[in-house]
């Protein structure tokens, strides 16, 4: 995936601190090559990409943005995200608007630099953000990535080459890596 077409920004602070008051979130469930994929977007960009059922995903959205207006509908951001699976590249720019700390956003930005079909270790991510002793914090940030593979957390392996962990389970991580041509 050409990561240059993905831009990552923080969700505006006033929206985060207000619990999403005045924020409209649109979600839709798509049948992708790996499983059902629930995509969520706002006017700012894609906010979530979840390998989860509707009920589970709505619980997570309510946790992240309890005061947001959430409706089921397809958006241009969803179509841009889905183009990845149809073409292997991004047909349109995909803005991401993520809720996270400054450190999490820094780690997620570093993940975008890991090319499709390649992997990196947590240690390498620590080095790329110039914080070599932050392995646990980096691991925590990787695990809190709300947009699954669009910020490619599945490409991050343990220092010894093992799979490490993955929010959606190691079988899903192996499946994603194999799809990208990485033997796992």
Q: How far is the C-alpha of 101 from the C-alpha of 115, rounded, in Å?
A: 24
- Which residue out of 6, 40, 110, 153 is catalytically annotated? 153
Q: Phi and psi for 73 in degrees, rounded to 5?
A: -165, 155
Three-state secondary-structure class, residue 75:
coil
Q: Residue 1: name the closest of 110, 183, 150, 158 by CA.
A: 150
Neighbours of 43 (CB within 10 A): 12
Q: Phi and psi for 83 in degrees, rounded to 5?
A: -60, -25
Q: Is 153 a catalytic residue?
A: yes
Kindly list the catalytic residues. 153
């Amino acid at each position: 995936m050409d990561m240059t077409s993905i831009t990552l920004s923080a969700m505006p602070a006033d929206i985060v601190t207000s619990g999403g008051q005045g924020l409209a979130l649109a979600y839709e469930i798509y049948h992708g090559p790996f499983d059902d994929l629930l995509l969520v977007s706002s006017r700012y960009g894609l906010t979530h990409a979840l390998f989860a059922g509707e009920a589970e995903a709505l619980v997570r959205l309510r946790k992240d943005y309890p005061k947001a207006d959430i409706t089921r509908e397809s958006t241009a951001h969803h179509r841009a995200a889905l183009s990845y699976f149809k073409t292997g590249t991004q047909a349109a720019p995909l803005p991401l608007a993520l809720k996270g700390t400054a450190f999490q956003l820094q780690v997620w930005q570093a993940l975008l630099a890991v090319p499709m079909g390649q992997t990196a270790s947590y240690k390498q991510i620590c080095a790329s953000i110039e914080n070599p002793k932050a392995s646990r914090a980096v691991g925590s940030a990787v695990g809190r990535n709300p947009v699954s593979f669009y910020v490619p957390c599945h490409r991050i392996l343990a220092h010894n080459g093992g799979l490490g962990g993955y929010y959606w389970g190691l079988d899903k991580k192996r499946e994603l890596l194999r799809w990208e041509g990485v033997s796992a």
